[in-house]
Amino acid sequence: MPETGSLKTVAVLVNCMEINDLDCFLRLTDALQIAEKDLKIIYYCQEKDELPSMRQDRFYPNEFSWKGTVLNPLVKEFLDREYDLLIGYYTHENILLHTISALAKASLKVGLKGSDEKLFDLIFDVKSENFKAFEEELVKYTGIIFKHKTRS
């Protein structure tokens, strides 16, 4: 479990296939009372979009070697940093997401029911489509664990 103190840095690992509003995670800065620069989000997408995207925060299955070596610089940087909190926002079995969750350096790891429970310290029993319920649970429990102010 993490040391007591305030929550400062948050990493989020998202499966694009499980949620429609990818920008909902950006609102976590307000909910958790952290600076935007201290929130790092990466999105796992099964396939590249047909249309070009300005988003630089996505990674794909072909960006890993057959031995599991990370080839994507975005994921390498994600794994090189240390975080107070890692959120694994996915419920389906996925070896790449599991690997990144396991390798991420975080004091507290939170996941959703359906993901590999051995990888996370705390599991929330909410559907991935219900981000609002997840956010409420996250604020409540991180407020207790990290003893920081939460929104009323």
pLDDT tens string 67-98: 888 999 999 999 999 999 999 999 988 999 99
Residue 121 lies in a domain: yes
3-state secondary structure 80-116: HCEEEEEEEECCCCCHHHHHHHHHCEEEEEEEEECEC
Q: Which residues pair with 40 in a beta bridge?
A: 11
Residue 31 lies in a domain: yes
Cβ 76 vs Cβ 82: under 8 Å: no
CATH assignment of the domain containing 41: 3.40.50
Residue 2 lies in a domain: no
Q: Is the pLDDT of residue 4 over 90?
A: no
Residue 70 lies in a domain: yes
Residue 128 lies in a domain: yes
Residue 4 lies in a domain: no
Say how many C-beta atoms besides its own lie within 10 A of residue 135's C-beta.
Answer: 19
Q: Is the pLDDT of residue 112 over 50?
A: yes
* More confident call, 57 vs 9: 9
Residue 25 lies in a domain: yes
- What's the pTM? 0.88
**Tens of pLDDT, residues 116-147:** 889 999 999 999 999 999 999 999 999 899 87
Q: How many CA atoms lie within 13 A of 71 on its CB side?
A: 9
Residue 44 lies in a domain: yes
Predicted pLDDT of residue 53: 52
Question: What is the extent of the structural domain holding 57?
Answer: 10-146
Q: Please give the tally of structural domains in the chain.
A: 1
